């Protein structure tokens, strides 16, 4: 797990200023105090009306009526601690503002084609068939070992995963990044501060399942297999000592995407959470902004899909990802988002991928994003576009919840802005790469990866380790 950081001298900044939308949500939290400290009398009806319009635009759950009712009760009893706590919780649910250019998008993204898929052709083999022929991937009969929606990569495909990570980091280093490490298990308040829910049952009931860690000898980098005895979903955990640990894990509904331990901690769905948490409760100096970070980590997702087009490793419970993250001022965040987008396009074009850029509508921004781009690659074997990356400008949404500020050269404290983007998400990138770089029966290696793999063609593996069902093994015993 790796993280990179860059600091620029304030005098040499080249990012132009940005115009924000109507600050309907920000005005409610206008001070530089922590988000949970506020004056309920400062929340006016106009602010609530603007915030409600924003909620409806993004098609999120409208909690403004609840806020209005709580404010009415507080006018009668200003010292009601119960209502004050309820108001704090409701205000924390408010989504970020929405960039004005997105107001007319409704629920449709604005598409910019960076290639013409009709000229690519259809004589390409689908990823799973390529891997089956070349003995590179195992997904079947893993339920009793690692759980459903998991996978093993073999030989050159496993090497390709590492090559993609190393190449991506080399690009980021050229952009003047610095290396750090991030954890995969985080306290819930960090994840919630990033705008992700860790509690609730919006669409489905919570499902509890026993989790057993069977850990071997002490070794800092040794991973242990965590076996879910009910749902048979597996994950990796890093431990340093020999222990036996029994825990309850809650698989939250599809809308939350989080695995939560009974301790209250959660498995990180993206290293954006760890990177944002690293800066929590920090007061930075303006001259040290912007700061850019990126981390390589395992990502754990609870969501699944039964769609045929999302079969195989397209949507899995755990995968490796290189994430970019930035701390900057409010005048730099829009241009920093463009910078992240350009890095992603540069990386994927160098891998011979056919891309399209989507400027996402308000309904696709989640809670934290002010504006967001998705990048999709044409997967010719599947004859479909597949999302391989995204980048978001979260303005001061996360900063206010994690208490990240900077002091200006004039001595004024302000909230920072945060930007995040996916530089490389391995499974889908492997699909797009192997389907796009076929020549006859050969799998060609993009030029930028040849030095990492010491080959220009991916060759067939001789064999795959045999996997036997646990029931068969027990019957033989």
Q: Is 317 annotated as a binding residue?
A: yes
The arrangement of strands across the sheet holding 438-439 comes to 438-439, 442-444, 457-458
The tokens describing 278, both together, are: 């690293």
Report how far Cα 29 is from the mean position of its chain's Cα atoms.
26
The tokens describing 193, both together, are: 């501060």
The tokens describing 383, both together, are: 């004859």
Q: Is 316 annotated as a binding residue?
A: yes
Per DSSP, helices labelled H in 318-364 are 333-349
Q: Is 197 annotated as a binding residue?
A: no
Q: Is 302 annotated as a binding residue?
A: yes
Indicate the pairing of strand 384-393 with strand 417-425: antiparallel
d(CA 48, CA 79): 22
d(CA 444, CA 30): 54
Per DSSP, helices labelled H in 208-332 are 271-278
d(CA 178, CA 183): 17
Q: Is 390 annotated as a binding residue?
A: yes
Q: Is 301 annotated as a binding residue?
A: yes
Residue closest to 141 by CA, chosen among 475, 469, 369:
469
**Residue 4, strand partner residues:** 294
Q: Is 327 annotated as a binding residue?
A: no
Indicate the pairing of strand 417-425 with strand 413-415: unpaired
d(CA 134, CA 441): 10
Q: Is 323 annotated as a binding residue?
A: yes
Instruction: Work out whether the CA dihedral 261, 265, 271, 272 comes out positive or negative.
Output: positive
Residue closest to 15 by CA, chosen among 417, 421, 420:
417
Q: Is 270 annotated as a binding residue?
A: yes
Q: Are 165 and 296 in contact (CB under 8 A)?
A: yes
The tokens describing 450, both together, are: 């040849």
d(CA 48, CA 43): 7
Q: Is 420 annotated as a binding residue?
A: yes
d(CA 239, CA 367): 33
Residue closest to 252 by CA, chosen among 188, 186, 198:
198
The tokens describing 396, both together, are: 């001061």
Q: Is 431 helix (H, G, I), strand (E, B) or coil?
A: helix
**Residue 110, strand partner residues:** 359
Q: Is 318 annotated as a binding residue?
A: yes
Binding residues for L-serine: 270, 301, 323, 420
Annotated binding site for ATP: 301-303, 316-319, 387-390
Binding residues: 270, 301-303, 316-319, 323, 387-390, 420
């Amino acid at each position: 797990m790796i993280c990179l950081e860059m600091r620029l001298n304030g005098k040499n900044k080249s990012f132009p200023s940005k115009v924000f939308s109507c600050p309907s949500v920000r005005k409610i939290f206008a001070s530089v105090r922590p988000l949970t400290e506020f004056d309920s009398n400062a929340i006016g009806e106009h602010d609530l009306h603007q915030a409600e319009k924003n909620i409806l635009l993004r098609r999120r759950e409208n909690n403004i009526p609840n806020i209005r009712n709580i404010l009415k009760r507080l006018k009668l009893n200003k010292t009601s601690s119960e209502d004050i706590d309820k108001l704090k919780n409701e205000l924390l649910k408010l989504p970020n503002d929405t960039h004005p250019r997105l107001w007319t998008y409704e629920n449709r993204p604005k598409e910019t084609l960076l290639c013409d898929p009709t000229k690519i052709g259809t004589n390409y083999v689908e990823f799973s068939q390529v891997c089956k022929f070349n003995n590179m991937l195992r997904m079947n009969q893993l339920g009793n070992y690692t759980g459903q929606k998991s996978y093993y990569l073999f030989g050159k495909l496993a090497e390709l995963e590492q090559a993609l990570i190393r190449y991506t980091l080399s690009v980021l280093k050229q952009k003047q990044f610095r290396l750090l490490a991030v954890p995969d298990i985080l306290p819930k308040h960090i994840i919630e501060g990033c705008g992700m829910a860790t509690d609730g049952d919006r669409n489905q009931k919570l499902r509890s399942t026993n989790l057993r860690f069977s850990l071997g000898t002490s070794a800092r980098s040794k991973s242990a297999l965590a076996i879910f005895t009910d749902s048979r979903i597996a994950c990796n955990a890093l431990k340093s000592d020999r222990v036996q640990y029994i825990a309850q894990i809650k698989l939250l509904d599809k809308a939350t995407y989080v695995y939560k331990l009974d301790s209250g901690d959660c498995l990180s769905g993206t290293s954006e959470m760890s990177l944002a948490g690293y800066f929590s409760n920090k007061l930075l100096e303006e001259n040290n902004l912007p700061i850019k970070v990126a981390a390589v980590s395992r990502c754990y997702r609870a969501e699944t899909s039964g769609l045929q087009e999302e079969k195989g490793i397209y949507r899995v419970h755990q995968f490796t990802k290189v994430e970019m993250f930035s701390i900057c001022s409010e005048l730099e965040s829009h241009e920093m988002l463009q910078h992240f987008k350009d890095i992603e396009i540069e990386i994927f074009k160098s891998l011979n991928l056919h891309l399209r850029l989507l400027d996402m509508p308000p309904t696709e921004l989640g809670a934290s994003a002010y504006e967001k781009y998705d990048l999709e690659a044409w997967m010719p074997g599947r004859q479909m576009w597949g999302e391989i990356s995204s980048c978001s400008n979260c303005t001061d949404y996360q900063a206010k919840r994690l208490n990240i500020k900077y002091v200006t050269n004039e001595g004024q404290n302000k909230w920072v802005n945060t930007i995040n983007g996916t530089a490389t998400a391995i499974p889908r990138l492997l699909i797009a790469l192997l389907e796009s770089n076929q020549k006859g029966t050969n799998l060609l290696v993009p030029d930028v990866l040849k030095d990492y793999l010491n080959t220009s063609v991916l060759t067939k593996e001789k064999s795959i380790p045999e996997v036997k069902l646990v029931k068969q093994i027990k019957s033989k015993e």
